């Protein structure tokens, strides 16, 4: 119930005005959102961690704003080392306006990223955007075969999606949205995650295991051994500010450990979804609101 409430708050304009304008939210925002993305990338890279960087923003309905998003990503690429990744939401590139517009913008980012040996991953969003996401991903792979895509385990069709994504880079996550008919019980989402993970580990693509759940991390490592994948054949992904000690531990073991680094001023919806994914983080958030310490 708390998860559903937080997701509802993430869509409330009134709540956004109250929370985003409060100076007391600064501490919690800085914990999850890079204040100055360049130094954060440098620090993580020096620590042996890989990065995927997301310029926050979504649900764009203005073509000019979508163009601004593309230019922001082109500038961001100058800060990234080879082997880095950028995460892109198609609604920030104008998917709500036109699938073709989003495809054209994503292709521009893919071409610039390839020139710097950086990959691109298309983020999953609200359930009604998923068909467009996979349509754009399929089109992009013709010229950019290493473009990645996100599959959300809370959706019943996730397993079928994974089966169809042979040879692709696939980030598997639990999902931070709501959808009609979606799994809502944590146990059901976890079971879907493991079913999908088995398909990805047994396949010919590159699994990106996006979870902070210790049990699922252990299952992923076991499946990698079972299906003969070495440490270069898959990677773990975790959010900036969440379980940094575990991120360091996995990197220290030689695993490919990539940190999802968001930045930008449009952080409200992202932050609320992160709290919904891990409601215990709400304690930290409330403490930041109620105390300046």
Closest among 122, 70, 125, 119 to 93, alpha carbons compared: 70
The pairing of strands 257-263 and 50-55 is parallel
What is the sign of the dihedral through the CA atoms of 158, 240, 216 and 274?
negative
Q: Is 213 a catalytic residue?
A: no
Which residues touch 78 (CB under 8 Å, ≥6 apart)? none
Question: Of 123, 141, 169, 229, which residue is the catalytic one?
Answer: 123
- CA proximity to 2, closest of 279, 292, 291, 288: 279
Active-site residue (options: 96, 141, 171, 258): 171
* Residues 107 and 144: beta-carbon distance below 8 Å: yes
CA distance 148 to 168: 7
Is 123 marked active-site? yes
Q: How far apart are the C-alpha atoms of 269 and 247, rounded to whole Å?
A: 24
| Residue 109 DSSP label | H
**How many other C-beta atoms lie within 10 A of the C-beta of residue 156?**
13
Report the distance separating Cα 258 and Cα 95, nearest Å: 27
CB-based contacts of 245-250 (< 8 A; 24+ apart in sequence): 246/212, 246/214, 246/217, 247/49, 248/47, 248/49, 250/217
CA angle 58, 64, 69 (to 5 degrees): 45
- Write out the catalytic residue numbers: 123, 171
């Amino acid at each position: 119930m708390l998860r559903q409430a937080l997701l509802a708050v993430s869509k409330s304009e009134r709540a956004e005005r109250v929370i985003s304008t409060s100076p007391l939210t600064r501490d919690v925002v800085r914990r999850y959102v890079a204040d100055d993305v360049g130094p954060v990338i440098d620090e993580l890279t020096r620590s042996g961690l890989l990065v995927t960087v997301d310029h926050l923003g979504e649900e764009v309905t203005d073509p000019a704003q979508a163009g601004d998003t593309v230019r922001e990503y082109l500038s961001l690429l100058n800060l990234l080392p080879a082997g880095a990744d950028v995460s892109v939401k198609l609604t920030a590139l104008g998917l709500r306006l036109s699938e073709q517009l989003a495809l054209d913008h994503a292709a521009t980012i893919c071409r610039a990223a390839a020139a710097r040996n950086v990959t691109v991953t298309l983020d999953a969003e609200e359930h009604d955007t998923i068909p467009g996401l996979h349509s754009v991903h399929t089109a992009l792979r013709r010229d950019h075969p290493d473009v990645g895509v996100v599959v959300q385990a809370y959706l019943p069709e996730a397993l079928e999606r994974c089966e169809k994504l042979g040879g692709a880079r696939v980030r598997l996550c639990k999902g931070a949205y709501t959808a009609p008919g979606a799994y809502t019980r944590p146990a059901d989402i976890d079971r879907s995650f493991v079913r999908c993970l088995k398909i990805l580990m047994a396949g010919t693509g590159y699994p990106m295991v996006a979870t902070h759940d210790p049990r699922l991390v252990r299952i992923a490592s076991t499946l990698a051994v079972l299906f003969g994948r070495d440490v270069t054949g898959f990677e773990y992904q975790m959010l900036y500010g969440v379980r940094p000690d575990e991120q360091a531990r996995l990197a220290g073991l030689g695993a490919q450990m990539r940190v999802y680094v968001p930045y930008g001023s449009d952080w409200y919806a992202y932050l609320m979804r992160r709290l919904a994914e891990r409601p215990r983080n709400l304690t930290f958030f409330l403490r930041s609101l109620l105390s300046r310490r």
